[in-house]
């Protein structure tokens, strides 16, 4: 038996940032979204029956309602967050979350913490070594 869940985004990024939620067409196609809000792509590395990928733009700041989707209780769906961040904002950390709602209550959440890249060429100094 399937249930209807709401999907909501929470983003704390610079306004110049760009976020895209990518998911399989079979799932994203079930979201009730405004026309033109979703872009379809093909993932040639995916299983032949599941190559259609959908991109949903997410606002870089605040709360965004992504829509509702019907899911079975044991559903497992791989999805990705694609991020474009201007160079001048890459030194700060940012958070983006997707909330899953059932009857208005949060029943699931995934949070991405976007951290500045650490320069792998720089090694930390060790105290007491010569």
Summarised one tens digit per residue, pLDDT across range 44-96 is: 776 677 777 788 888 999 998 888 888 887 877 778 889 999 999 989 999 99
What's the pLDDT band for 29 if we cut at 50, 70, 90? Answer: low
Local confidence band at 11 (pLDDT 50, 70, 90 cut-offs): very high
Would 103 be classed as within a structural domain? yes
Q: Does 124 fall in a domain? A: no
Domain encompassing residue 102: 2-114
pLDDT(107) > 70: yes
Alpha helices in 8-96 (DSSP H): 25-28
In a domain, 84, yes or no: yes
The answer to whether position 95 is within a domain reads: yes
Residue 127 lies in a domain: no
Contact 57, 66 (CB under 8 A): no
Sheet holding 94-102, edge to edge: 61-72, 2-12, 94-102, 105-114
Total domains in the fold of the chain = 1
Query: Do the beta carbons of residue 9 and residue 95 sit within 8 Å?
Result: no
Nearest alpha-carbon partner for 39 in 22, 26, 63: 22
């Amino acid at each position: 038996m399937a249930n209807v869940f709401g999907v909501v985004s929470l983003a704390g990024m610079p306004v110049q940032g760009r976020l895209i939620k990518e998911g399989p067409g079979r799932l994203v196609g079930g979201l009730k979204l405004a026309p033109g809000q979703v872009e379809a792509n093909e993932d040639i590395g995916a299983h032949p029956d599941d190559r259609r990928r959908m991109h949903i733009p997410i606002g870089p700041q605040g709360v965004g309602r992504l829509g509702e989707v019907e899911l079975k209780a044991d559903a497992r769906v791989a999805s990705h967050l694609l991020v474009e961040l201007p160079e001048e904002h890459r030194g700060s950390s940012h958070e983006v979350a997707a909330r899953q709602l059932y009857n208005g209550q949060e029943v699931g959440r995934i949070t991405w913490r976007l951290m500045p890249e650490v320069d792998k060429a720089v090694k930390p100094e060790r105290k007491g070594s010569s």
